[in-house]
Each structure stands twice: as structure tokens, then as C-alpha cells.
């Protein structure tokens, strides 16, 4: 678990008007495991006010969650329920927490099962998010980062098509795209760079800073592969980086 906890990080020192200020205490480190059951689809909802969020794959459990924080009320709540073949896993930070200050620490590290079909929804108000989801059995992904940077890694070998929606406000977004399957990206906002050899830009849809539509990118496998990953990146002030390859 040493390397696992090493990815729990914090990158926000911000002021919050109207938020309850609670004194920081001793640093707490906790972990919790959620056993895998017979659910054939699990909805994962990660709802974090502020801090560093890291998500990765690789556990025999449904999920293993590690937390580090030094404000007592920031202790996250973990809930799991399952009914008629569908599971719901929610990890949430108390809603009144929306920022961090000097000397305050809050980080989550979540490791998810690679075999169970997952719908992943993640929200981060303030901070940094590093989500390595390419090794998961994804069905749908929705991510919202209001103030901070997002690094999303989708590289892997998906067996099923899925959609990704990213909502941004302020901060840079980096997406590592899979190869060997069809990829289509609609990016509303400032596309700073596109790196790699297998992405094409649709010249007929070259809208600049159009939050409703955006510029369209696709690879040569789109329409040829049985699997397609479609991304919709909308809103926000900041750069968008689309990366392909290793």
C-alpha cells in the first residue's frame, strides 16, 4: 500500500467565502475495502469537495479506497448497495467543504476492479484529479472539475464502446486516448495541442472556442473498429491536450 498512498496528493491553496473554517488536526490515514458481489453493473460515484483525487485499477475487491486528511469533518463517507444485479458505490466528502487552505491536507486514492462493468462519475470542486481508467471495464464516464487540472488516461484495450463526458470550468485538461479502437472527440474550448500520429481534425467542424459544439477529432479506426470511445469535452477556461500513443 506504500506506493498506493504515495499517489494521494494535494494541489490547492484557495480562499473560500462563506465556508465554515475548521482547525486542522493530526493527519489521518485510513483505508477501506468494498467486497465484490454478484452485481453485473456497478455505478461508481466519487463526490469530492476539494483536494487531490487519484483513481486507478487493479484489485480483487470491488474497490479499495485510501484517504489522507487533517480536518476531522472531511472524513469521507463510503456507501455500497446492490439490487437486481446493479450496484451503487458512493464515496463523498461532506457537502459544506469546497476549498482548502494552507496547512490543510485532503487526498483520496481509489483502486477499482478491472472485470466488473462500471459507470464512473466523478466530481471535484477544487484541486487536482488524476484518473487512470483505461484498464477498467467501462460503460460510461462522466467527470466534472470546477477549479483545477484533470489528467485522464483511457489507454487500454476496451471490449465495449463507451461515452465520456467532461465538464470543465477553470483548469487544464489532458486526455490520453486509446489506440486500436475507434476514437471520436468533440472539444468545446481551447484545444492547445494534439499529439500523436492517428488523430485527424474534421475541417468542416473547425469551430473556435464554441462551447456548444466544438472541434471534432477522430482516428482512422473510427467506423472500422467494433469498439468506439466517444468523448465530449465542454466548457471551461484552460487548455485541452489530446494525446495518443504510449
The three three-digit cell numbers of residue 168, written as one number: 470543465
Tell me whether residue 231 is in a domain.
yes
Q: Are 81 and 39 in contact (CB under 8 A)?
A: no
Our measurement of the distance from residue 4's CA atom to the centroid of its chain's CA atoms, rounded to an integer in Å, reads: 17
Q: Collapse the DSSP code of 25 into the 3-class scheme (helix H, G, I; strand E, B; otherwise coil) and give the result.
A: coil
- Pairwise CA distance, residues 116 & 137, whole Å: 6
Tell me whether residue 170 is in a domain.
yes
C-beta neighbour count of 124 within 10 angstroms: 28
The residues, any chain, with a CB within 8 Å of residue 146's CB and separated by 6 or more, are: 124, 125, 126, 169, 170
Q: In which element (H, E) is residue 195 found?
A: strand 190-195
Tell me whether residue 67 is in a domain.
yes
DSSP-assigned letter for residue 158: -
Q: In which element (H, E) is residue 242 found?
A: strand 239-243
The three three-digit cell numbers of residue 47, written as one number: 463526490
Shared domain check, 87 and 101: yes
Shared domain check, 158 and 137: no
Task: Find the domain containing 75 and state its range.
Answer: 28-150
Shared domain check, 146 and 32: yes
Domain boundary among 150, 165, 200: 150
Shared domain check, 186 and 146: no
**CA angle at residue 11 from 99 to 15, to 5 degrees?**
30
Tell me whether residue 205 is in a domain.
yes
Q: Collapse the DSSP code of 231 into the 3-class scheme (helix H, G, I; strand E, B; otherwise coil) and give the result.
A: strand
Shared domain check, 34 and 126: yes
Shared domain check, 145 and 34: yes
Q: Alpha carbon of 212 to those of 74, 116, 203, 236: distances in Å?
A: 36, 34, 17, 12
Single pTM value for the model: 0.86
Each residue's pLDDT expressed in tens, for the chain with a length of 246 residues: 443 344 443 333 333 333 455 778 899 999 999 999 999 999 999 999 889 999 999 999 999 999 999 988 889 999 999 999 999 999 998 755 555 666 788 999 999 999 999 999 999 998 999 999 999 999 999 999 999 999 999 999 999 999 999 998 888 999 999 988 999 999 876 666 665 557 888 866 555 444 445 788 999 999 999 999 999 998 778 888 899 876
Give the position of cell 487493479: 58
Domain boundary among 134, 150, 166: 150
Domain boundary among 150, 171, 205: 150
Shared domain check, 185 and 85: no
Shared domain check, 211 and 163: yes
Q: Alpha carbon of 202 to those of 177, 210, 221: distances in Å?
A: 17, 15, 15
Q: How many domains does the chain have?
A: 2
Instruction: Please write the tens of the pLDDT for every residue from 41-88.
Output: 999 999 998 899 999 999 999 999 999 999 888 899 999 999 999 999
Amino acid at each position: 500500500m506504500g506506493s498506493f498512498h504515495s499517489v494521494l496528493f494535494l494541489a490547492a491553496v484557495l480562499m473560500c467565502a462563506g465556508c465554515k473554517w475548521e482547525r486542522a488536526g493530526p493527519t489521518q490515514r485510513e483505508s477501506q475495502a468494498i467486497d465484490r458481489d454478484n452485481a453485473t453493473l456497478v455505478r461508481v460515484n466519487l463526490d469530492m469537495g476539494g483536494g487531490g483525487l487519484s483513481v486507478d485499477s487493479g484489485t480483487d475487491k470491488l474497490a479499495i479506497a485510501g484517504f489522507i486528511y487533517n480536518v476531522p469533518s472531511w472524513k469521507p463517507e463510503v456507501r455500497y448497495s446492490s439490487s437486481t444485479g446493479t450496484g451503487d458505490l458512493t464515496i463523498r466528502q461532506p457537502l459544506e467543504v469546497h476549498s482548502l487552505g494552507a496547512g490543510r491536507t485532503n487526498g483520496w486514492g481509489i483502486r477499482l476492479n478491472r472485470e466488473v462493468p462500471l459507470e464512473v462519475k466523478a466530481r471535484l470542486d477544487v484541486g487536482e484529479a488524476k484518473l487512470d481508467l483505461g484498464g477498467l471495464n467501462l460503460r460510461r464516464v462522466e467527470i466534472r472539475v470546477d477549479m483545477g487540472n484533470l489528467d485522464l488516461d483511457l489507454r487500454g484495450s476496451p471490449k465495449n464502446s463507451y461515452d465520456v463526458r467532461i465538464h470543465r470550468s477553470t483548469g487544464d485538461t489532458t486526455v490520453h486516448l486509446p489506440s486500436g479502437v475507434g476514437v471520436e472527440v468533440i472539444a468545446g474550448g481551447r484545444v492547445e495541442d494534439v499529439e500523436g500520429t492517428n488523430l485527424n481534425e474534421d475541417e468542416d467542424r473547425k469551430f473556435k472556442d464554441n462551447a456548444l459544439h466544438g472541434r471534432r477529432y477522430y482516428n482512422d479506426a473510427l467506423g472500422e473498429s467494433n469498439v468506439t470511445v466517444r468523448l465530449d469535452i465542454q466548457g471551461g477556461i484552460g487548455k485541452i491536450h489530446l494525446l495518443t500513443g504510449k
